[in-house]
Structure 1
Amino acid sequence: MMKTSQIRSNYQAKKIYMPRALGVKEYAFYDDINIQYRQTMEDGFFIADNFLDDGGKSILFGVLDGHGGSDVVEFVKQNFTKEFSDEYKKTPKDVVDVLKRTFLRVDELVKQKCKSQEVGSTACIGFIRLEEAKRVLYIANVGDTAGLVLDDTQAHNVTIEHKASNPREIERIKKAGGSVIYDRVAGVLAVSRAFGDHSLRNFGVIAQPDVTRMELRMIHKYLVVASDGLWDVVIPKEVLEVSKLKSNSEEVAAELLKRALLNGSRDNTSVMVLRLN
């Protein structure tokens, strides 16, 4: 068993701030292993700014939260961008379908390349591009990694939580021949959609994401994407309050991470903040 001090020295917390981004005004990413409760880091993220090489009007990004290990997280982190690019070239006009196809394609590759029977990852992945002079956000998720768009007065949920306790997911799982026991799929997994977890596919776990399309306006200031280490203990109202108190994406990300830990999060915590306007 590793000592706490050894774990700390082997883990490098990420603090990233890009004050002059291209696809968005700026972005930041902060994470923490939450050493009191977790000995390994199973979260991950990626950001591909100027994704379409279109002069900085596009960006692809995601936050991942693994369970059972980090193998699936690492594979998705390394491969999603390429697979999305390949699918995008086929049907660039239909980003919703591109995202759905990419999730399923990456999940199939996970099955082929990883030991993913009992290892998986939730994900929240977004793409912003210009469409006829309008900036549009597409955001796809599986599991309980989620996103919020913030303006001056509201926090807008742009993802759907896929937990086995969700009535919509319970109905879907039962129709697929699966079962939910004590708010877990087959009594095992608390989330109902994820990359990996292939031993539970016959019980209702799927990698098909929900996808939201949102036209961004000048009132939309921040997009916050985070693992459930944040969402389990920090409500949208508090996220909105933090965004009003801080002056940039780095300050917002740092404060949200701090509050998650102070509020008693028991999980790895990752927070990505993109300033939209």
Structure 2
Amino acid sequence: MSLPVHTTGVVGRAETKRGGGEETLSGCFFGVARMRQLSSLLQGLARSMALGKERKEEEQGTVLRTSGTLRGEGSGTLAAVWSRRGEKGTNQDCSVVWEGFGCQEDTIFCGIFDGHGQWGHYVSKAVRDSLPPSLVRRWQEAVTLASLINGEKKLCHSQFDLWKQSYLAAAAAVDEELRRSRRLDAVNSGSTALSIIKKGDTMVIANVGDSRAVLGTTSDDGSIAAVQLTVDFKPNLPQEKARIVQCKGRVYCDEDEPGVHRVWLPDREAPGLAMSRAFGDYCVKDYGVISAPEVTQRRITARDQFVILATDGVWDVVSNEEAVQIVAATPEREKAAKRLVQWAVRAWRRKRRGYAVDDCSAICLFFHHSPPS
């Protein structure tokens, strides 16, 4: 990341001489040169510090990449994870929970990824493995530079901006890395990516695709209420459709799937992508499909109990309200994600008879040791 260099006052004197038919500049702008050297030095320092920390990430943190449970050390957080393969073949969903993310105390990263296409299971795992460390590296570089230039006091007020900037840069880098990969064909395959970073009472949410994050919070009457934290990036959303159409892509429903809007190439009935943002899917990247995440922030209050991250296999058949009720009513929080996924599978067979059950995956992150009385 390069930061703008601002100079004030007179930093040097320039003299213009003409000779030999060309104009030359003599003298030197010592202040500008020094500022450029300082900027280069700071960037090098940031990179070295970030890379040094990155090598120690998994030694200092705890990472869960399978179904199971992870408890946050020294905090009341608990993450329950569960995934179940559908009836379409290989399970293309995957997830990661990283406690101690970025070598930061009381910080946890949760991410869920839903692949699609022939090689979607490889793409989702590639994004899962690449995005968190890429995000850490860019965030550490940004924080190092910002603290050296602006000081610690201003840094605390710009944390969200730094996370947002880091998320956007990391997503672009991961997508470009996939594009250049010689081992993975992501032309007609891709993946969503939904993640949160919780540090203290602050939660940063980033979403690419149609997975969804839903908050379970206590309402005034003591019941549990659902608050949707993300947008399902479907092609028929006005802003998404406008971008795709402007880029010469097409958005419409197939005859045998009324209500399911998909992205199509301008001159072919392909690929029929059911989301407007994704990693990979390079066949439609020139036609309005993007990998840029929407990044938002949420302050966690004493009323907020947990957040659910789940793939569309869950949300296609379970409403937000049903999901938070299922999780809140689970006696053992360690089994909350499993119970939600099992409920979704049964709902598929009840509500979508004749359709193959989709892969269903969920992460339930609880904020407190126990719900307040």
Provide TM-score, normalisation by structure 1. Answer: 0.87
| Compared CA separation, residues 98 and 23, structure 1 to 2 (3 A) | farther
Would the aligned equivalents of 1:96 and 1:213 in 2 still touch at CA under 8 Å? no
Would the aligned equivalents of 2:327 and 2:337 in 1 still touch at CA under 8 Å? no
Q: Could you tell me how far apart the structure 1 residues matched to 2:75 and 2:309 are? A: 16
Would the aligned equivalents of 2:314 and 2:341 in 1 still touch at CA under 8 Å? yes
Q: Could you tell me how far apart the structure 1 residues matched to 2:226 and 2:103 are? A: 31
User: How far 1:252 moved relative to its partner?
Assistant: 1.7
Deviation by residue 1:251-272 (Cα, 9 ceiling, x = unmatched): 3212111110000162111111
Correspondence for 2:204 among 119, 138, 152: 138
Q: Could you tell me how far apart the structure 2 residues matched to 1:234 and 1:205 are? A: 27
Amino acid aligned to 1:67? H
Question: Which position in structure 2 is the counterpart of 1:235?
Answer: 319
Are residues 1:222 and 2:306 paired? yes
User: How far 1:274 moved relative to its partner?
Assistant: 0.6
Are residues 1:106 and 2:177 paired? no
Q: Kindly indicate which of the two structures has a greater share of residues assigned to helix.
A: 2
What is the aligned length?
A: 258
Question: Which position in structure 2 is the counterpart of 1:185?
Answer: 263
Are residues 1:53 and 2:103 paired? yes
Are residues 1:274 and 2:365 paired? yes
Question: Which position in structure 1 is the counterpart of 2:12?
Answer: none
Q: Unpaired runs of 5+ in structure 1?
A: 1-13
Q: Could you tell me how far apart the structure 2 residues matched to 1:163 and 1:239 are? A: 21
Q: Which runs of 4+ in 1 moved over 6 A?
A: none
Q: Could you tell me how far apart the structure 2 residues matched to 1:116 and 1:24 are? A: 39
Amino acid aligned to 2:115? G
User: How far 1:47 moved relative to its partner?
Assistant: 1.5
| Compared CA separation, residues 168 and 238, structure 1 to 2 (3 A) | same
User: How far 1:115 moved relative to its partner?
Assistant: 1.3
Correspondence for 1:95 among 163, 177, 187: 163
Amino acid aligned to 2:126? F
Are residues 1:64 and 2:113 paired? yes
Question: Which position in structure 1 is the counterpart of 2:15?
Answer: none
Q: Could you tell me how far apart the structure 1 residues matched to 2:204 and 2:282 are? A: 27
User: How far 1:15 moved relative to its partner?
Assistant: 3.2
| Compared CA separation, residues 99 and 22, structure 1 to 2 (3 A) | farther
Identity among equivalent pairs (%): 25
Would the aligned equivalents of 1:147 and 1:158 in 2 still touch at CA under 8 Å? yes
User: How far 1:216 moved relative to its partner?
Assistant: 0.8
Correspondence for 1:77 among 128, 134, 145: 128
Matches within 5 A, 1:35-50: 37-50=87-100
3-state SS of 2:340 partner: helix
Q: Could you tell me how far apart the structure 2 residues matched to 1:226 and 1:258 are? A: 13
Q: Unpaired runs of 5+ in structure 2?
A: 1-65, 144-158, 219-223, 254-260, 350-356, 369-373
Q: CA RMSD in A?
A: 1.8
